[in-house]
DNA sequence: GTCAATATGAAATAATAATTCCAATCCATA
DNA sequence: TATGGATTGGAATTATTATTTCATATTGAC
């Protein structure tokens, strides 16, 4: 009765590993399954788990009892507890960061806020990015003779990074800046054999939209990075990405956009190398 | 039947928040409880949850139905799914991303690699940033008449962001770009009452170093963001930050630098507002 | 090869939990 | 303040799920 029943997942794990050798075949089978698929144990029903592991429900219960639990249900508690704790680590850290940031404890809080916003944005885009769109965009850009990069204001840093990286990769590109006021002329040079990366977020810089429209009308294919399907950029684009950036204190992060931009650039570089190699071969 | 039922937690959350105002009292009560204690919903039974939230089990079911689910059980699935996805602790998720990136499965891997690099950089800097240095930098910059921003190549996007944000905050600043070749003259205008943010990473752009040296010799205080104590920038700076950016495929992330830059900028903005207010009062 | 001990499968049973239903209550409106 | 509709509480019902039981199979010792 007061047998030493494992109360936390780590102890349980060790116990199972220790006894592994001496366990009967089916019990060993469920033991292995349990350690490999702890989530399934946490959420499944005795019957569903047993089925997945290829044993009978009763075996599952015997397994639990052999470990000192009085049934499957109490064994399951341990697996659930693990999820609760696990989960809290990352989320809570972020939440703590955000909380500290929001309660405004000095300037450090501002920094924490931006780190939290950036982290959130990254994990969002990591989930949301569409592989197919990404491939399409890479294809499209890899075929271009010249890649035009178009962005103003808040998005301009991203554009300047893309231009820098493309240059490093020896890919011909043209950053459309407004400094010299020659944008219209620059855009005039683009042909359908080129391509454009256009970046703009709400409130969309009118110049970006205008220039995107006019370059689209010349038949130049456009890859857009923007923030919603209502974005004016979306309608001009062959491929477009929706990037939801978290904000802090009214300043939106650009880390997700940046990561996407870097990935696009490097992927285009790789694609070109591959194509070049094949052509030679 | 084919009502749009929220399938993931975020959608569900938004849906609930949207309708909150129009929900009856008890339903609203359980809605609030659900968003506050998502783990309890994931693991509890209808009865136990209802008890914790102070309502009847039937209310819980009505709540689920009102959201379009056909019962509590299907609502609970969403809460469980959330745990599963988030479950893998942050580090594990990162490790998975990195692994996927390294095994090189297509272009998606490149994207994953950059997201992983950015996340790593962020969590590193979050740990490493020195509060005292941060405060010093903010003080120094807040007092400046004009903030000069100095960075080339890979760091230039950060500089351009700083310039943009400072502009938005109505803080006088001057981005030192090389376009017109008038950098030396620009630098000549700086006085000890101004300040500089200089950013450079190995291999340090010679122009950045040269310009930083010459501006330092004029007695202008410098805040440097760089990557090691051996950096030539460090010796010229009043305050300097060491930012270790992770890289992927030879391209280093700039997300940590970016977060720091944003934080510095906004903190300076706040500091100025505060000081301004005090002066008036 | 036989026997006993152990392990396993399958179905019956008990327990638990979700859902439904109906009466009571609350609330807005005339 | 009376009336109809919406909301809620609580018990009854239904469903699902864990557990037990027992027959059968397997294993190892003699």
| Segment A20-25 long-range contacts (CB within 8 Å, at least 24 positions apart) | A23/A66
How many inter-chain contacts (A to B, CB under 8 Å) are there? 164
pLDDT of A162 higher than 90: yes
Same domain, A154 and A268: yes
Q: What angle do CA A161, A167, A168 make, to 5 degrees?
A: 90
Quote the domain boundaries for residue A213.
Answer: 130-280
Interface test with B, best of A110, A134, A163 (most B CBs within 10 A): A110
Same domain, A140 and A202: yes
Total Cβ atoms within 10 A of residue B280:
6
- Inter-chain residue contact B251 with A258, CB threshold 8 Å: no
Give the integer Cα–Cα distance in Å for A178 and A182.
Answer: 7
**Residues 186-245 of chain B whose Cβ lies under 8 A from any Cβ of chain A:** none
Please identify residues in chain A, positions 8-27, with a C-beta within 7 angstroms of any atom of strand C.
24-27
Same domain, A151 and A263: yes
Give the integer Cα–Cα distance in Å for A14 and A78.
Answer: 13
Closest protein residue to C9 using CA and C1' atoms?
Answer: A56
Q: Which helix (H) or strand (E) is B183 found in, with range? A: helix B183-188
Report the distance from CA of residue A60 to the C1' of nucleotide D17 in Å, as an integer.
13
- Inter-chain residue contact B90 with A89, CB threshold 8 Å: yes
**Residues 48-87 of chain A whose Cβ lies under 8 A from any Cβ of chain B:** 80, 83-84, 86-87
- pLDDT, position B17: 82
Same domain, B115 and B134: no
Question: How close A122 comes to chain B (CA, Å)?
Answer: 6
SS3 state of residue A152: coil
- pLDDT, position B143: 95
- Inter-chain residue contact A110 with B270, CB threshold 8 Å: yes
Q: Kindly report the average pLDDT of chain A as a whole number.
A: 85
Ranking A144-153, A262-271, B31-40, B272-281 by mean pLDDT, the lowest is B272-281
Question: How close A188 comes to chain B (CA, Å)?
Answer: 22
Q: What is the pLDDT along chain B (281 residues), one digit of tens a residue?
A: 334 677 778 788 888 888 877 888 888 888 888 888 888 888 888 888 888 888 888 889 998 888 888 889 888 988 888 877 655 555 555 566 566 656 656 788 889 889 989 998 998 898 889 889 999 999 999 999 999 999 999 999 999 999 999 999 999 999 997 655 667 788 888 999 999 999 999 888 888 999 999 999 999 999 999 987 678 899 899 999 999 999 888 889 999 999 999 999 999 998 888 776 665 55
Closest protein residue to D6 using CA and C1' atoms?
Answer: B24
Q: Which residue has the higher pLDDT, A33 or B150?
A: B150
Of B123, B154, B263, the CB nearest to A114: B263
The H-assigned helical ranges of chain A are 9-19, 25-36, 38-43, 46-53, 57-66, 72-102, 106-128, 131-143, 156-168, 183-188, 206-217, 232-236, 255-280
What is the separation, in whole angstroms, between the first and last Cα of chain A? Answer: 74
- pLDDT, position B80: 86
Is the minimum CB–CB distance between B133 and chain A shorter than 8 Å?
A: no
**Mean of pLDDT values over A43-69:** 87
Between strands B147-151 and B195-199, the pairing is: parallel
**Residue B46 beta carbon within 7 A of nucleic strand C:** yes
Same domain, B163 and B228: yes
Domain assignment of residue B187, yes or no: yes
Same domain, B267 and B203: yes
Report the distance from CA of residue B65 to the C1' of nucleotide D19 in Å, as an integer.
32
Domain assignment of residue A23, yes or no: yes
pLDDT of A254 higher than 90: yes
Same domain, A68 and A150: no
**Mean of pLDDT values over A110-120:** 89
Closest protein residue to D21 using CA and C1' atoms?
Answer: A58
Same domain, A213 and A151: yes
| DSSP one-letter string for B246-259 | -EETTEEP-HHHHH
| B198 in Cβ contact with B151 (< 8 Å) | yes
Between strands B239-242 and B147-151, the pairing is: unpaired
CA nearest A167 in B: which residue? B153
| Domain stop point among A50, A82, A114 | A82
Ranking A22-26, A257-261, B75-79 by mean pLDDT, the lowest is A22-26
CA nearest B114 in A: which residue? A259
| DSSP one-letter string for A76-100 | HHHHHHHHHHHHHHHHHHHHHHHHH
Same domain, B224 and B200: yes
- Inter-chain residue contact A266 with B255, CB threshold 8 Å: no
Same domain, B101 and B156: no
Between strands A195-199 and A222-226, the pairing is: parallel
pLDDT of A240 higher than 90: yes
Same domain, A142 and A249: yes
Write out chain A residues lying below 8 Å of B153, CB-based. Answer: 164
- A182 phi and psi, to 5 degrees? -110, 20
Ranking A86-100, A220-234, B158-172 by mean pLDDT, the lowest is A86-100
Contacts of A179 (CB under 8 A, 6+ apart): B179
| Domain stop point among A58, A82, A106 | A82
Please identify residues in chain B, positions 76-95, with a C-beta within 7 angstroms of any atom of strand C.
76
pLDDT of A92 higher than 60: no
Give the integer Cα–Cα distance in Å for B150 and B221.
Answer: 13
Give the integer Cα–Cα distance in Å for B11 and B265.
Answer: 33
CA nearest B252 in A: which residue? A262
Write out chain B residues lying below 8 Å of A259, CB-based. Answer: 111, 114-115, 118, 253, 255
Count of domains in chain A? 2
Same domain, B42 and B142: no
Question: Which CATH number is A247's domain given?
Answer: 3.40.50.10490
Of A111, A113, A122, the CB nearest to B129: A111
CA nearest to A142, candidates A277, A279, A278, A270: A270
pLDDT of A75 higher than 50: yes
Please identify residues in chain A, positions 260-279, with a C-beta within 7 angstroms of any atom of strand D.
none
Q: Could you give the count of Cα atoms lying within 13 Å of B181 in the half-sphere of its Cβ?
A: 0
Ranking A188-192, A226-230, B189-193, B206-210 by mean pLDDT, the lowest is A226-230
| B253 in Cβ contact with B94 (< 8 Å) | no
Give the integer Cα–Cα distance in Å for B210 and B201.
Answer: 14
Total Cβ atoms within 10 A of residue A119:
26
Closest protein residue to D27 using CA and C1' atoms?
Answer: A24
Q: Which residues pair with A151 in a beta bridge?
A: A199
């Amino acid at each position: 009765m007061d047998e030493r029943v494992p109360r936390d997942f780590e102890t349980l794990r060790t116990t199972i590993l220790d006894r592994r050798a001496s366990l009967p075949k089916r019990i060993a089978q469920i033991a292995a399954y349990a350690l490999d698929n702890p989530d399934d144990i946490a959420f499944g029903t005795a019957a569903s788990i047993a089925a997945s592991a290829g044993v009978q429900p009763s075996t599952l219960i015997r397994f639990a009892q052999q470990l000192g639990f009085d049934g499957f249900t109490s064994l399951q508690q341990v697996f659930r507890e693990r999820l609760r704790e696990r989960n809290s680590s990352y989320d809570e850290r972020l939440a703590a960061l955000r909380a500290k940031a929001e309660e405004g404890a000095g300037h450090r809080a501002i920094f924490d806020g931006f780190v939290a916003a950036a982290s959130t944005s990254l994990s969002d885009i990591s989930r949301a990015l569409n592989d197919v769109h990404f491939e399409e965009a890479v294809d499209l850009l890899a075929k271009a003779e010249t890649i035009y990069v178009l962005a103003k204001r808040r998005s301009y840093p991203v554009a300047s990074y893309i231009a820098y990286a493309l240059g490093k990769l020896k890919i011909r590109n043209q950053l459309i800046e407004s400094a010299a006021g020659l944008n219209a002329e620059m855009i005039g040079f683009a042909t359908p054999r080129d391509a454009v990366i256009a970046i703009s977020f709400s409130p969309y810089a009118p110049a970006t939209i205008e220039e995107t429209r006019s370059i689209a009308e010349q038949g130049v294919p456009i890859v857009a990075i923007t923030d919603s399907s209502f974005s004016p950029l979306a309608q001009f684009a062959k491929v477009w990405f929706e990037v939801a950036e978290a904000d802090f204190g009214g300043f939106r992060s650009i880390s997700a956009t940046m990561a996407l931009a870097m990935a696009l650039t490097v992927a285009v570089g790789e694609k070109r190398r591959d194509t070049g190699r094949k052509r030679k071969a």
